[in-house]
């Protein structure tokens, strides 16, 4: 082989090496800092992780999962390849590298997002320290999970210290409130006096007389007895003196009550007796006394008088 032929062969090999290098750079991570390259297998592994781990209708959720995969690849704690990270035991969905992706539209979406991730695109809520996620809505008792974003049905978090955090909006610090005291003296309360009057309203109790009336019986009586009821004169009402306990300063006022109204005077009522009068007795005059005729009559008259029977002659 002459020198000319050897030069042509050397130039061809150099062109071949340059073309291979350009082809590998087309699959690089773009803005990613290191100079690693990824083959078509890395694209497939990344698309599978996003297809089975995120909501397949959300490109935002797929992008967040892809960002976590790339954060693990660039970390010293995990494998240094995409397929090594996705295929690690008990890290992603079971069968993530073997199950078929049956939904054509979702598969194409995952491949599209995988190309963007391999070109250097990352989710804005997933920085380089966020390497974990789980299904949104689950609660765990660990206090080192610092959440950053929820996307595609997953909650993404970073493992920090042992201080628990929950992704909430930043709390605004309230500005201090300065209270100024008024230098003016407080107004003194003016005492108010209430004067009670010792006068009391007049109260006169009116005497009441209850008169029982018997209606006359309709049956005629042989000799009715008329009873006349004489009205009694009511005494005048006694003056009422208002007795009020005097106050220390005021003198009680004594008032005389006005005379009470006259009491109602009933009319005379005629009462007829229902009992008949007893029959009149005829008075029999006693026979005039006579002198005894003999001694026997004298003894008889004397004994009769002594017995309280009165004279017999």
How far, rounded to the nearest angstrom, does the alpha carbon of residue 45 sit from its chain's CA centroid? 58
Distance, CA of 133 to CA of 251 (rounded, Å):
95
* Predicted local confidence at residue 243, as pLDDT: 47
What residues of the chain score a pLDDT lower than 50?
14-37, 164, 167-174, 204, 207, 209-214, 225-227, 229, 235-244
Token pair in block for residue 211:
């008169």
Angular region, 136: left φ>0, alpha ψ -120 to 50, beta rest:
beta
Provide the pLDDT for residue 5: 57
What is the predicted pLDDT for the residue at 88? 93
pTM of the model: 0.42
For the segment 52-99, what is each residue's pLDDT rounded down to a tens digit? 998 888 899 999 999 999 999 999 999 999 999 999 999 999 999 999
Rg for the chain, CA atoms, rounded:
69
- Tokens matching residue 3: 């020198």
Query: What are the residues whose beta carbons fall under 8 Å from the beta carbon of 143, sequence distance 6 or more?
Result: 162, 163, 164
- Residue 253: the pLDDT is 62
Q: Is 194 exposed, middle or buried (0-12, 13-18, 19+ CB in 10 A)?
A: exposed
Mean pLDDT computed over every residue of the chain: 71
DSSP state of 120: T
Q: What is the pLDDT of residue 91?
A: 93
Domains defined for the chain, CATH in brackets:
39-159 (1.10.10.2520)
Contacts of 77 (CB under 8 A, 6+ apart): 131
Residue 125 confidence (pLDDT): 95
* The pLDDT value given to residue 161: 74
Per-residue pLDDT tens over the stretch 110-148: 999 999 999 999 999 999 999 999 999 999 999 999 999
Nearest CA among 230, 236, 225, 310 for reference residue 271:
225
């Amino acid at each position: 082989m002459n020198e000319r032929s050897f030069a042509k062969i050397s130039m061809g090999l150099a062109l071949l090496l340059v073309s291979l290098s350009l082809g590998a750079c087309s699959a690089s991570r773009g803005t990613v800092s290191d100079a690693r390259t990824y083959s078509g297998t890395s694209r497939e592994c990344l698309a599978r992780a996003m297809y089975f781990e995120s909501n397949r209708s959300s490109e935002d959720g797929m992008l967040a999962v892809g960002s976590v995969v790339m954060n693990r690849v660039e970390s010293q704690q995990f494998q240094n390849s995409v397929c090594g990270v996705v295929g690690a035991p008990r890290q992603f969905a079971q069968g993530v590298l073997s199950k078929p992706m049956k939904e054509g539209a979702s598969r194409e979406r995952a491949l599209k997002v995988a190309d963007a991730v391999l070109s250097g695109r990352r989710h804005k809520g997933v920085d380089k320290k966020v390497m974990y996620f789980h299904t949104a809505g689950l609660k765990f008792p660990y206090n080192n999970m610092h959440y950053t974003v929820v996307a595609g049905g997953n909650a993404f978090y970073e493992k920090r210290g042992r201080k628990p955090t929950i992704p909430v909006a930043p709390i605004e610090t309230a500005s201090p409130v300065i209270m100024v005291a008024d230098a003016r003296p407080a107004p003194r309360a003016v005492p108010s006096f209430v004067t009670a009057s010792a006068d009391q309203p007049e109260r006169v109790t009116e005497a009441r007389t209850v008169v029982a009336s018997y209606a006359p019986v309709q049956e005629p009586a042989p000799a009715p007895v008329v009873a006349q009821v004489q009205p009694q004169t009511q005494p005048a009402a006694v003056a009422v003196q208002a007795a009020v306990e005097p106050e220390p300063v005021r003198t009680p006022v004594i008032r005389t009550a006005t005379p009470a109204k006259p009491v109602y005077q009933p009319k005379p009522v005629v009462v007829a007796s229902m009992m008949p009068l007893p029959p009149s007795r005829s008075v029999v005059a006693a026979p005039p006394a006579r002198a005894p005729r003999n001694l026997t009559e004298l003894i008889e008259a004397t004994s009769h008088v002594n017995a309280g029977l009165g004279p017999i002659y």
